[in-house]
Structure 1
Amino acid sequence: MARRVPWRRCRSRSTARAVVSSAGRRTTSYPAALKAAIDWHCTQWTAKPVAFVSYGGAAGGRHAVLHLENVLTELHAVTIRDGLAFPNYFTGWQDGQPLDAGVAGYAKTLLDQLAWWAGALRAAREAVPYPA
């Protein structure tokens, strides 16, 4: 299981090869604290892939993800199309496990695409600096 590292404890976000962001729906968008963290580190998103795991009501937090995709695109990040959403998360889990048997497959797709983009963008950044 991956260890969560709070933003304040990261020594250098610029060395990250990829980012997975979790986004819960808050008034049909993302939390202000998440936007503040993105803005505070705005230059470190350039040419980095970002994948989303979301949760919420019927839409599973996808509204928040759609808003975040727009924000991160403006910062020249590359967002991964296939995300992982948990609609009605409050009824879709039992004993810490999702009830949807397809979640493992969706997560694998997300992580495989994220790894591919991380490698491709890293090679591109090393070959030619990103024109900011």
Structure 2
Amino acid sequence: MYRPVIAPRPDSPSSQAVGVDFDETLMAIDERGWMGGQVYGEPIPGAIEALRLLAQHRAVFVYTARHRRFHDAVAGWVTRHSGLVTRVNDDPDRAYWTEHGTVLVTNLKLGAAAYVCDKAVYFNGDWTATLATVTRAIGLTQVAV
């Protein structure tokens, strides 16, 4: 399958960023589970090195489903483990992140050249195959389209 390289372009802000999910992509959650949104887990092996590498080449944002009141804790976790400068998103209308050198923490899925997520399903233009993958993932056994 051919996948084009998405080069950063000045006229395309989304081409300049990579979005990385937080829970179960950067930070492991153990048997304690969600724990009311506390940020307590250790990095998933290889996650910090990957985050640093991505940040050398693109603007990076970390996205999370956590409420905004936990974003400072997420940003602190990222900085503590990676040494990267972080900033919490203060703009609920932000559509893009293009600032190199600072990792943005947000609960928005901003425009990006690529997303890294533990729950993602790749869409290759074929809804039949994609729907089969999604229905299996959510536990549906028979779906009529």
The two structures have a TM-score, normalised by structure 2, of: 0.34
**Taking CA–CA contacts closer than 8 Å with sequence separation of 6 or more, which of the two structures ends up with the larger relative contact order?**
2
The two structures have a TM-score, normalised by structure 1, of: 0.36
Greater percentage in helix: 1
Is the radius of gyration larger for structure 1 or structure 2?
Answer: 2
